[in-house]
C-alpha cells in the first residue's frame, strides 16, 4: 500500500510539533539550570522527528507507550505544554497531579499509556495493549517507543517473541540514538542493528532515518497498516542522535565533539524546514512566525507552571494508591 500523502497543513503541524518539543526541552533545561525545576530530565532534542513522524501515522483510537525520554512522545500525541510543564515542576495542575514528573509524564486520555523510569519496562505493556486490541477485535494499534539500550533487556526479547507469536498489532519503534547513557551501541549490542533482531521474532525489521520526519511517518504508516490488517507486529529502528547529554550533568566524555557536530549538521528540524522551503510549502516568514508562536506558548507554559499552579497538598499523599480504598489511621479500608 502506498503511503498516505500528507497535506500541506499536516506538514506544517508536524513542523510545529517538532519546534514545540525543541522549545519545551530548551525551557526545561533552562529551568533546571536556574533550579526552578527539580529532578531528572532526559531531553528529546535531536530526536523530534521520530515521535512526531510516528504519532502522525496513528489516530485517536490508537495507543502509544513512552520511555524515560518521554516529553517528545507526550507532545507529539497532542499534549498541552502548560499541563506538561506543570507536571515537570511537580504541580497539582500537571497531567499526573505532580506525582510523576518528567519520567512518568503522560496524557493518559490521549492514549498515552505512560512514560517509565525503568528502561524497557513499557515494551511488555505495549504488547499487552496490542493483545487487548486484538481480543476486542479493534482495528487499532499500539506504537511502542524504546531506546537502543532497552533492546538489550529481557523485556524486549520476551515481548517481541510474544507479539510475533500472537501476531499482535504493535509497532515497535526503537529510537537508536547510538548510546544508552554512556555506553555506545557498539559496546552494548551483539549485532550491528537492532532491526537485525526482528527475524528472530518472525516480524519485519526495518532501518529508518530517524532524522527525517517524513521517512519516519512513511515507515510507521506502513507498519500500522500491516498491523491493522491483522498481519502482526513490525520492528522499526530509527537511527538518530540525542544532541544533549543523557541528562543534565553528563559531560559526554564517551563521545567526540566531531561526532556531535556531524549529527547536529543533520538536525531534523533544519532538514524538514529546508524540505518544506524547497517544496514551496513554507516561507522564511512563516517559519519565523511559527517559531515566535511556539516561543510564546512555551513562556506561557512556564508561567502557568511556576506562577499560576499550586503545589499538591500533602493531605492528598495517599490518594490514588488504590481504587475505592482509603488509608485509615490503623489500616487500609474500603471507602463507604
Partner 1 sequence: MPEIFYWEAIRDALREEMLRDERVFVMGEDVAIYGGAYGATRGLYEEFGEERVKDTPISEAAIIGAAAGAAMCGLRPVAEIMYIDFITLGMDQLVNIVAKNRYMFGGKTTVPMVIRTQGGAGRGIAAHHSQSLETWFVHLPGVLIATPATPYDAKGLLKTAIRDDNPVLFIEHKMLYRTTGEVPEGDYALPLGQAKVTRPGSDVTVVSYSRMANRSLEAAEVVAAEGIDAEVIDLRSLRPLDIESVLESVKKTGHLVLVSEGYKNANALCEVAFRVNEFGFDYLDGPMLRVCAADVPVPMSPVLEEAAVPSVESIAGGIRQALAD
Binding site for partner 1 (CB under 8 A): 38-40, 90-91, 98-104, 116-120, 149-150, 152-155, 180-183, 187-189, 253-254, 311-312, 314, 316-318, 321, 327
Give min distance, CB of 242 to partner 1, in A: 15
Give min distance, CB of 182 to partner 1, in A: 4
Give min distance, CB of 149 to Mg ion, in A: 5
322 contacts which partner out of partner 1, ligand TPP, Mg ion, none, CB within 5 to 8 A by kind? Answer: none
69 contacts which partner out of ligand TPP, Mg ion, partner 1, none, CB within 5 to 8 A by kind? Answer: ligand TPP
Q: Which of 46, 70, 114, 149 binds ligand TPP (CB under 6 A)?
A: 149
Decide: is 82 part of the binding site for ligand TPP (CB under 6 A): no
Decide: is 70 part of the binding site for Mg ion (CB under 5 A): no
Give min distance, CB of 140 to partner 1, in A: 27
Decide: is 235 part of the binding site for ligand TPP (CB under 6 A): no
Binding mask 134-163 for Mg ion (x = CB under 5 A): -------------xxx--------------
The three cell numbers of residue 246 are 543523557
Residues 205-234 within binding reach of ligand TPP (CB under 6 A): none
Q: Which residues sit opposite 147 in a β-bridge? A: 175
Decide: is 73 part of the binding site for ligand TPP (CB under 6 A): no
Separation of CA 91 from chain center: 21
Residue 265: count of CB within 10 angstroms of its CB:
9
Q: What is the 3-state secondary structure (H, E, C) of the chain?
A: CCCCCCCHHHHHHHHHHHHHHHHHHHHHHHHHHCCCCCCCCCCCCCCHHHHHHHHCCCCCCCEEECCCCCHHHHHHCCCCHHHHHHHHCCCCCCCCCCCCCHHHCCCHHHCECCCCCCCCCCHHHHHHHHHHHHHCCCCCCEEEEEECHHHHCHHHHHHHHHHHHHCCCEEEEEEECCEECCEEHHHCCCCCCHHHHHHHHCCCEEEEECCCHHHHHHHHHHHHHHHHCCCCCEEEEEECCCCCCCCCCCCCCCCCHHHHHHHHCCCHHHHHHHHHHHHCCCCHHHHHHHHHHHHHHHHHHHHHHHHCCCCCCHHHCCCCCCCCEEECCCCEEECC
Residues 294-313 within binding reach of Mg ion (CB under 5 A): none
Whose Cβ is closer to partner 1: residue 166's or residue 254's?
254
Residues 113-132 within binding reach of ligand TPP (CB under 6 A): 117-119
Decide: is 69 part of the binding site for ligand TPP (CB under 6 A): yes
Binding mask 8-47 for ligand TPP (x = CB under 6 A): ----------------------------------x-----
Enumerate binding residues for ligand TPP (CB under 6 A). 42, 68-69, 117-119, 147-150, 175, 177, 179-181, 246
Amino acid at each position: 500500500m502506498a503511503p498516505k500523502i500528507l497535506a500541506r497543513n499536516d506538514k506544517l503541524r508536524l513542523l510545529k510539533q517538532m519546534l514545540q518539543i525543541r522549545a519545551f526541552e530548551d525551557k526545561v533545561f533552562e529551568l533546571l539550570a536556574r533550579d526552578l525545576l527539580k529532578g531528572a530530565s532526559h531531553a528529546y532534542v535531536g530526536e523530534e522527528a521520530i515521535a512526531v513522524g510516528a504519532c502522525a501515522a496513528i489516530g485517536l483510537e490508537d495507543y502509544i507507550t513512552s520511555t524515560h525520554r518521554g516529553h517528545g512522545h507526550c507532545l507529539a500525541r497532542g499534549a498541552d505544554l502548560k499541563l506538561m510543564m506543570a507536571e515537570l515542576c511537580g504541580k497539582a495542575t500537571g497531567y499526573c497531579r505532580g506525582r510523576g514528573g518528567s519520567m512518568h509524564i503522560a496524557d493518559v486520555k490521549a492514549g498515552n499509556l505512560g512514560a517509565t523510569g525503568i528502561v524497557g519496562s513499557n515494551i511488555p505493556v505495549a504488547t499487552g495493549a496490542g493483545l487487548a486490541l486484538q481480543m476486542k477485535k479493534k482495528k487499532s494499534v499500539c506504537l511502542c517507543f524504546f531506546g537502543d539500550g532497552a533492546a538489550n533487556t529481557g523485556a524486549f526479547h520476551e515481548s517481541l517473541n510474544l507479539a510475533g507469536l500472537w501476531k499482535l498489532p504493535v509497532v515497535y519503534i526503537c529510537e537508536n540514538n547510538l548510546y544508552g547513557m554512556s555506553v555506545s551501541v557498539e559496546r552494548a549490542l551483539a549485532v550491528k542493528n537492532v532491526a537485525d533482531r526482528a527475524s528472530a521474532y518472525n516480524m519485519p525489521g526495518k532501518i529508518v532515518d530517524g532524522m527525517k520526519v517524513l521517512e519516519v511517518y512513511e515507515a510507521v504508516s506502513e507498519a500500522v497498516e500491516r498491523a491493522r490488517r491483522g498481519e502482526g507486529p513490525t520492528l522499526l529502528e530509527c537511527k538518530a542522535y540525542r544532541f544533549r547529554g543523557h541528562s543534565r550533568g553528563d559531560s559526554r566524555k564517551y563521545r567526540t565533539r566531531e561526532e556531535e557536530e556531524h549529527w547536529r549538521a543533520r538536525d531534523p528540524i533544519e532538514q524538514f524546514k529546508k524540505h518544506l522551503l524547497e517544496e514551496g510549502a513554507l516561507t522564511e516568514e512563516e517559519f519565523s512566525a511559527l517559531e515566535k508562536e511556539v516561543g510564546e506558548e512555551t513562556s506561557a507554559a512556564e508561567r502557568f507552571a511556576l506562577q499560576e499552579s499550586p503545589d499538591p497538598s500533602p493531605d492528598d499523599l495517599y490518594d490514588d494508591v488504590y481504587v475505592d480504598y482509603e488509608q485509615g489511621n490503623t489500616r487500609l479500608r474500603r471507602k463507604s
